[in-house]
Amino acid sequence: MSDSSLSQTSPVDIGERLRLARENANITQKHAADAISVARTTLVAIEQGQRRLRIEELQQLAKLYRVSVNAVLRREAVHVDLIPRFRKLVDAKDYAAAAATELLANLARAEVELENLLGVKRARNYPPERPILPGDVRMQAEQDALELRQRLGLGFAPIADIVTLLEMELGIRVYVRRFDGSVSGVFAYDDTLGACMLLNANHPRERRNQTGGHEVGHFVSVRHEPEVLHADEPENSRQERYANAFGRSFLTPAGAIRQKFQEVTAGSTHLTRRHIIVMAHFFGVSREAMVRRLEELGLTKKGTWDWFTANGGITDEQAAQVLGDLRTPDRHKQEADKPTTIRLNLLAAEAYRRELLSEGQLARLLHLDRIELREMLQDIDLQEDEADGAPTLLV
């Protein structure tokens, strides 16, 4: 790295990037100043762009902060920190929420930086924001959910894969990763990153669908406000009531529920476990969520779920007996067992192939050790070898 490369980048930009890197590394200004043998006031001036950095100082600081010099200098580097936006939401002792938030930030930042390096632009098809209005918040949420369904051409059809729908049709960045079970999901919006969502792979697919529906409601109504959704969180605000109602209406629209309910229960005199299992599977939600929705729509009396619970519940074994081979593998849970996402893997492999990033830079960007990175790159190579002889893509 030459001094000319350093001089081509604005001192203000470099200072801001170094400040973010230092804060992310939890290093004080005094510690950083000592590392390059300057006074703390000099480091402050560097971070404010008032004092130009020498190349050897940049190299020392980059090493201290565990970032690459290229990441500080290149224009494609992403210098967005989502963490401060969550500080009002995340209690200092809520380590699970803090860890989930940091995971989302790391995944989104890495993906955008690789996209920028490769010249890849993710298409966004965001619906307009719908501010929460005075009055019946649940009625508004249902109307907004139906409007989004219409926009996506879903009609009354069930949503088979909400992750793919949000990624491919709306352009939201959705990650399914394993983290503490006390947190169901995280949502954030940034002008650089776009809309980002993290769903918990430790939760069953049906519950993740419900979390995704809830976060879509947050995205539609108040997308500039970040959210950490805790498991079994009470509806203690209009925003939460809206998001919950939106999620129910988006995944289980009233018209579709009524129609399917008539089909499934035709000729029956009682609501059975089999009815619930079939309907919950069809709409991709939990058995409890389905019964609660039926209660809400007046298709069964209030307290029905409590009755089932008091009489042995509706078990996974019973669901297996009813559904048999209809149950499909949970692809997103299987992918979540890998160190990083499939899309990130492909982007990283291409950046490495083009020699845009070194092995060490990629490992730091993806928060992997070098052994994990090499295994990931080898897997990609094997997949490409298997494609030898396949039709070439026309660019």
CATH code of 146's domain: 1.10.10.2910
Q: Which of 107-121, 123-137, 294-308 has the lowest mean pLDDT?
A: 107-121
Residues 132 and 243 in one domain: yes
**Tokens 């307290």, residue located:** 303
The answer to whether residue 84 is domain-embedded is no
Instruction: Write out pLDDT tens, residues 44-86.
Output: 999 999 998 888 898 899 889 887 776 677 655 555 667 666 7
Instruction: Please check the confidence at residue 280 and state whether its pLDDT lies above 50.
Output: yes
Asked which of 251, 273, 301 is the last residue of a domain, the reply is: 251
The answer to whether residue 394 is domain-embedded is no
pTM (2 decimals)? 0.78
Residues 68 and 102 in one domain: no
Supply 17's token pair.
């990037």
Instruction: Note whether 317 and 307 are within 8 A (CB).
Output: no
Strand 183-190 with 194-200, pairing: antiparallel
Residues 263 and 213 in one domain: no
Q: Which of 28-42, 287-301, 373-387 has the lowest mean pLDDT?
A: 373-387
| Domain range enclosing 206 | 97-251
Find the farthest-apart pair of alpha carbons in the chain and give their distance in angstroms, rounded: 84
Q: What's the pLDDT at 326?
A: 74
Report the DSSP beta bridge partners of residue 173. 196
Confidence grade of residue 113 (pLDDT, cut at 50, 70, 90): confident
Q: Nearest 5°: CA angle at 28, between 27 and 31?
A: 90
Residue 179 phi/psi, 5-degree rounding, is -155, 180
Confidence grade of residue 9 (pLDDT, cut at 50, 70, 90): confident
Residues 262 and 324 in one domain: yes
Residues 104 and 24 in one domain: no
The answer to whether residue 81 is domain-embedded is no
Residues 194 and 222 in one domain: yes
The whole-chain average pLDDT of the chain stands at 88
Residues 43 and 104 in one domain: no
The answer to whether residue 392 is domain-embedded is no
Give the closest residue to 117 by CA, choosing from 345, 354, 341. Answer: 354
The answer to whether residue 218 is domain-embedded is yes
Asked which of 75, 109, 133 is the last residue of a domain, the reply is: 75
Q: Which of 73-87, 256-270, 332-346 has the lowest mean pLDDT?
A: 73-87
Q: What's the pLDDT at 232?
A: 80
Instruction: Write out pLDDT tens, residues 211-263.
Output: 999 999 999 999 999 999 998 888 889 999 999 999 999 999 999 999 999 99
